[in-house]
Chain A
Amino acid sequence: MDTVKEIKKDFFINMGPQHPSTHGVLRIVLNVEGEKVLSSETVLGYAHRGVEKMAESKTYIQMMPVMDRFDYVSSMLFEWGYVGALEKALGVKVPERAEYIRVIMGELNRIASHLLWVGAFLLDLGAFTPFLWVFDARERIMDMFEEVTGQRMTNNYFRIGGVKDDLTPQFFKMLQDFLKMIRERMKDTEDLIESIIFLERVKDIGFISKQDVIDYGLTGPVARGSGFSYDLRKNEPYSVYDKIDFEIPVGEKGDCYDRYKVRMKEVIQSVRIVEQALNLLPDGPYTEKSPKVVKLPEGEYYNAVETSRGLLGVYIVSDGSTKPARFKLRDPAFSNLSILDKLLPGNKISDVVAILGSIDVVIPEIDR
């Protein structure tokens, strides 16, 4: 024996693209030593469809159903961002009733998205039951969407100058039932979730400082979990959010638990918004007469809305034709995911799923 090979202690683990807890086709290459993560590399692009390029060959109206297919769990909020940009460009005034309908549907969609997240997050941590408890509630939202928009997930409901259809009497009945049960269900779910095991798993894990929030451009519950109170609905109120009273929940420390808590509180705030919007809902037309052929005047247009994951910016460059010359999204999950590689090193493999889950990513939105 002249040379003894140096024993390599670390090895690589491919988490994804086929893995139960990467929520689709995200791939994380982990360099681990035993259970400890030394470094990580996030690999994207497995669901890349080139949608931004595709938009250049689609008319403005044809692009509308595609907007549903970025973030399929809060699709109407994405429609809102896009339709808002078109309305800004065309100078269309949206009727008041349509604005309130948009707020109601948008907030219901936010609730649905957060409920799905809570379930999936707990599934990552190994608890199956909360997933189905919140899905029972989410199913009622889906039924309401089916009643009003005609589809459960990819709704294609927003139109330039309003919405596609008015709310139905059946919808109001369903909504009342839902509002009655949701608070109790959220309380039950929260009580079940917050056992000592859950607290141990998520508290003091994956700290994001306020400086990180600014450096990485984080938005949404991830930023608010770190105490960075930035919500477009409050900071730059669009639609009728300035007439509605609601709070922006913020966390203190910026760990996984704070991000979880912020989302749970946001659900309750969204319920409050829906209740108020329901009382304020005026009579009137639900949509403005919109042109059959949409041609944007030459120029650049930008609109931002607060989706369930954070700030969505829609940027359109028009050359005056029926198709955009350039289409760009600034989507929340992509920016939020960028901090993952900074958070993972030093944690255990079990924490990887907790941290990734707490960031809340939707892959089609990231890969586009």
Chain B
Amino acid sequence: MEALSGSIFFNIILSIIGVMVVFTINALFAVWLERKVSAHIQLRLGPMEVGFHGAIQSAADGIKLIGKEIITPKGVDKKLFPLAPYLVFFPSLLMFVVIPFSDKLQVQDLNIGLLYFFSISCIATIGIFMAGWASNNKYSLMGAVRSIAQSIAYEIPIILSILGVIIIAQSLKLSDIVAKQNIWYIVIQPVAFIVYIIAAIAELNRTPFDIPEAESELVAGFHTEYSGMRFAIFFMAEYTNMFLVAAMATTLFLGGWRGPILPPVVWFFIKTYAIVFLIIWVRWAFPRLRPDQLMNFCWKFLLPLALLNLLITTFLLKLF
């Protein structure tokens, strides 16, 4: 056993199992949380039938979706259509690699962890465009085009907002960033945190920035034609991304796994789900923006704000 634990092979197997467990439980829990929070905001009860207060409702839904027929509509691109869901889904698995769940629990502590995280996250956009293009549906295509424009626009404020953190921490390594947060960076960089959260919600395609899948305009956007397990994969990727974005916010701004009394992993999940709750809460309070307003908001408000924040941060850092 001792000999095994040191080997790389053992580490890889353990990591894969760990990531899959976190991924599955998160997808089930986040969907349940979203349904419950939205229900109670809207004076409803939400799922109540399967399990205690509907706790395993999402598992039941998952089983239903697995059992469904996979429909491939006429006229779709035979190669790209089945491939697209996986191209959206796998980046979110890969992004787990650098997330520091605790001081010891991290798959790989890369030197360029932050850079890795945000580069991988861009790949999903290609998958979304693929899905929209391959579907042979005008609504899907429009959703995909909107998605591309949105992703490109909002990646810039995200990177700019975390640049402030990087400058203070002097490192791209996530474990270093956590270690240096004797004061949470949300206190030092509140503007960066707000910009990050707004841009992250936009990256996640969630209301008020859910124009790629705007239900009342584009039916379901890029995944209009998908059904059964393929749809479920899109769905799971969305909720996994939500977790990842929240996990990154925790790591960068809320001191990661650090906290008193409770074990680090627990602290990490408490903070992450607090952010997840915030993201859900915003979704159920507001309508959605129009595509051109979305762009205006990004280029004319978020980007200058992030730049200003960066400028002031560097200036003050030089001063003291």
Contacts and interface: CB of A to CB of B under 8 A. Distances in A.
B167 interface: no
B53 to A, nearest CB: 19
A350 B208 CA distance: 13
Candidate in B41, B44, B286 with the most chain A CB atoms within 10 angstroms: B286
Contact of B290 (A124, A192, A200): A200
Given A13-B138, A133-B42, A201-B287, A348 B292 contact: yes
B219 to A, nearest CB: 6
Given A20-B216, A35-B291, A129-B284, A197 B208 contact: yes
Interface string B292-303: 110000000000
A174 interface: no
B38 interface: yes
B146 to A, nearest CB: 8
Interface residues of A, number: 31
Interface string B204-234: 0001101100111111000000000000000
A178 interface: no
A350 B286 contact: no
B289 interface: yes
A317 interface: no
B142 interface: yes
Nearest to A22: B216
A133 B208 contact: no
B41 A349 contact: no
B78 interface: no
B48 interface: no
A75 interface: no
Contacts of B138: 11, 13
B214 A350 contact: yes
B291 A197 contact: no
A21 B138 CA distance: 17
Nearest to A18: B219
For the residues of A in contact with B, the DSSP-based class is helix
B288 interface: yes
A350 B146 CA distance: 12
Given A126-B210, A197-B208, A198-B287, A350 B217 contact: yes
A136 B292 CA distance: 34
B44 A201 contact: no
Contacts of B214: 126, 350
Given A13-B138, A349-B142, A353-B217, A122 B292 contact: no
B96 to A, nearest CB: 30
A126 B208 contact: yes
A170 interface: no
A19 interface: yes
A195 interface: yes
B287 A126 contact: yes
Candidate in B42, B138, B219, B284 with the most chain A CB atoms within 10 angstroms: B42
Contact of A201 (B38, B285, B290): B290
A129 B41 contact: yes
A350 B291 contact: yes
Interface in B1-57: 38, 41-44
Interface in A187-242: 192-193, 195, 197-198, 200-201
Given A127-B207, A136-B43, A193-B287, 4 more contacts: A132-B44, A201-B293, A351-B290, A352-B217
Top 4 A-B residue pairs of the complex, sorted by shortest distance between their CB atoms: A126-B288, A132-B42, A127-B287, A21-B216
